[in-house]
Chain A
Amino acid sequence: MYKYDQYDQAMVDTRVEEFRDQTRRRLEGKLTEAQFTPLRLKNGLYLQLHAYMLRVAIPYGTLDSRQMHALADIADTYDRGYGHFTTRQNIQYNWIKLEEAPDLLADLAKVEMHAIQTSGNCIRNISSDHFAGAAADELVDPRPYAELLRQWSSFHPEFNALPRKFKIAVIASETDRAAMRLHDIGINIVKNEAGELGAAFYVGGGMGRTPMIAPCINPFVPLDQLVTYAEACLRVYNRYGRRDNKYKARIKILVHELGAEEYTRQVEEEFAHLLGQGVEPPLAELERIRTYFEDPAFQDASNDTIDRSDPDFALWVDRNTVPHKREGYVSAVISLKPVGGIPGDATARQMHVMAELAKSYSFDELRVMHTQNIVLPHVRKATLYTLWQTLEAEGLGSPNLDMIEDIIACPGLDYCSLANARSIPVAQKIAERFASTGKTDALGQLKLKISGCINACGHHHAGHIGILGVDRKGVENYQLLLGGSEAEDVSLAKITGPGFDENGIVDAVETVTDVYTRERQDGERFLDTYRRIGMDPFKEALYG
C-alpha cells in the first residue's frame, strides 16, 4: 500500500502544528467560534450532538495493521474506547475534546493518516472498491488511480472553496462495489477495443435531498489525461455551480440544470484548454505510485481446501467470503453488524484484534467497506478456520454479508446534530426481528439502508429497502422506500406511502419481505421481484 514520501509527511505534520496554533488561539479567545469553525472543519473536527466529532480519512478504505492499531489506541486515549466506520470508508470518533485534538492529529500523522478534507466544501476522501487488488473480476487495481487523484486533490488551491462538498469514487470492474454512480464524479477504469486502459467518467450523481444517478459524460479518457479531465470537470463546476443556495449547490444540480450534453461540452472545451497547461503529472508518477500496490507474495495455495465439518464455520464461509483473483485465496469480510449491535461500531479491542488478524493472515492489509464492515482482502483458504475462530470469540463472526441483518445505518439522532430521527435503534430492532423469526436466510441478498435525515448518509435511496427518518411535529417517523441499488444495476428507491412509527417500520419491513417471499420466482432477489411486479403489491400489503 502507499507510503508517504517526505512531501506527504511534511504537509501533514505542518498542518498538525498549524491546527495546534489555531486551537490555542481559539481557547485563548483570540479567535471567535465563527472564525475557528471553518478551520476546525478543514481538519475534520465537527461539533456534534454530544461533543466534538473527528472524522479521519482512510484513503480508498485501505489500512495496514499499524494504522488500525493506531486507530484503536486513539479510541482508548482520546475517545471512549470505540470508533464508528462510515459509509465513505472513514472512521469517526464521537467524544473528542478540542483541547486534545491537536495531540490526536499528531498521533495520526505518525502513522501516515490525517483528517484533512473530511469536511468542508472541498474534494473529500477518494473512495474505491473494497476488494481492490483482490477481486477476481477486476480489470486492474483501481487504487493507484485513486491515490493519484488523492495527491492531486489534497490542498488543491483552486478547489479549496467549492460551491459544496465533492466526492469521487474509482473502480475498475463491471461490478460496482463503491456506489460509483452515486458520487459527484465516478470513474471506472475500462479497456477500449485496442486493449488500452482508460477512464470512463460519470459526473453528477449523488444521494442527499435530491438523489441522482450520474450520467456517463466520457466513456474513455486516456490514462495520461486522467487528472486533466478531472480538473476540467471541477473547473466547470467551480465556475458555474450555485453558491446562492446550499441545497442546489452540488454538481448534480448543475449537470441536471445544464443537461449532461451541455455540461459535457463545457468540460470538453475546458479540457482542450487545459491540455496545453501542463496540469497532468508525468506518467512516471503514476508508475511510482503503482509500485506501492503490487501484489503481495502470494503462495501456491491451489491445493488449499476448506474443512466444512463445523456447520457454523461453513455458514460463515458461504456468506462472508468472496472469490479472489488468486487460486487458494479469498477475501474475508468481518461483519460489524452483530444482531442488536450498532452498525459500523468497533471497540478498540476489536480494532486491535482485526489488526493482528490482518498481520497474520492477510499480508498486513485491511479495507473499510462503505457498507461499514471490514475486509481482510487476501486470506489463504487453509487459514480460514483459525481466523474465524478468533472472529467468533471477539464478536466479529456474524455471518450476514449483504443479508437483511447487514444494515447500513447512519449515526442518526443518537449522535448527529443534523438528524431528525434515530437510525440505530431501528436497525437493531429489524435485525433482532429477522434473527428471531429465522427469516434472514430465506431472504438471501437484501440490502437495507437507513438514514436519520434527508442528507442520506445511510444511503437509503440506494437500499433494496430504504428507510428515511423524519421529524413529524417533534415525533420520529419513518418513511419506507423500495427498489434502490448502489451497484452496477443502479437505481433510486421510491417511497411506498405514508410513514410509520418506530415499531411500525419494523412491521412494515417484515410485511414487504413477506410479499417478496410470496411473489418471488426462482433465483430472484428482493430487488428483482420488486422490479418485476412493481410497487402496487407492496403498497397493498402495507396500506390495504
Chain B
Amino acid sequence: MRLLTGNDLKTGAVTWWTGTDWSIHVEDAADVTGHEDEIARREEASRRVNGPYAVDAELKDGVPRPSHIKERVRSLGPTVRPDLTLKPAEPDIGNWVI
C-alpha cells in the first residue's frame, strides 16, 4: 500500500492523509495507491500540508506500517525520547520502529 505524508505547514508536525483530512497518527492513514500525485497537488495548493510525498507501507496487525525505518521514526517520534513520541505510555513502542 501507499501512504501520503507531509508536514503541517504551521507547526511542522508529521501528518498522514486519511482519505478526507490529515492526521498526525499513521494508524489513520489511507491507502492512496494510484492517487498520490493528484491528492498531493490539491492539498499542497490548499496549504494544508507542506511537501507531501508518498511512501510504501504494509498492514501489520491491521495498522499501516511504513516500509522504511526513516518513515517509521517520522511517524512515531525519536526512539531515544519515548516521552516525546506519540505513544509515551508505551515504553516498548521503539520495537515497532525497529
Contacts and interface: CB of A to CB of B under 8 A. Distances in A.
Contact of B10 (A80, A98, A422, A474): A98
Given A425-B80, A428-B80, A47 B51 contact: yes
Contacts of B67: 474
B7 A47 contact: yes
B11 A414 contact: no
A425 B81 CA distance: 10
Nearest to A341: B80
B70 A49 contact: yes
Interface in A81-117: 95-99
Given A33-B50, A80-B84, A413 B11 contact: no
A476 interface: yes
A166 to B, nearest CB: 27
A428 B94 CA distance: 15
A345 to B, nearest CB: 9
Given A51-B13, A414-B73, A33 B51 contact: yes
A424 B7 CA distance: 24
A52 B8 CA distance: 10
A342 interface: yes
A468 B14 CA distance: 27
Interface residues of A, number: 29
A412 to B, nearest CB: 9
Contact of B69 (A413, A415, A425, A428): A413
B12 interface: yes
A471 B68 CA distance: 10
A27 interface: yes
Residue with the highest number of chain A CB atoms closer than 10 Å, among B14, B67, B70:
B70
A50 interface: yes
A276 interface: no
Nearest to A94: B78
Nearest to B70: A413
Given A414-B73, A476-B69, A50 B80 contact: no
B9 interface: yes
B73 A96 contact: no
B12 A425 contact: no
Highest count of chain B CB atoms <10 Å: which of A342, A413, A417, A475: A413
B69 to A, nearest CB: 6
B47 A29 contact: yes
B77 interface: yes
21 contacts: A33-B51, A47-B51, A49-B14, A49-B70, A50-B13, A50-B14, A51-B7, A51-B12, A51-B14, A52-B12, A95-B84, A97-B12, A98-B9, A99-B11, A414-B80, A414-B81, A422-B73, A422-B80, A425-B79, A425-B80, A474-B68
Given A29-B47, A51-B11, 12 more contacts: A27-B9, A33-B44, A33-B50, A49-B70, A49-B74, A98-B12, A413-B70, A414-B80, A415-B78, A419-B70, A424-B80, A425-B80
Interface of A: 26-27, 29, 33, 47, 49-52, 80, 95-99, 342, 413-415, 417, 419, 422, 424-425, 428, 471, 474-476
- Which 4 A-B pairs give the minimum distances between C-beta atoms? A51-B12, A52-B12, A414-B78, A97-B11
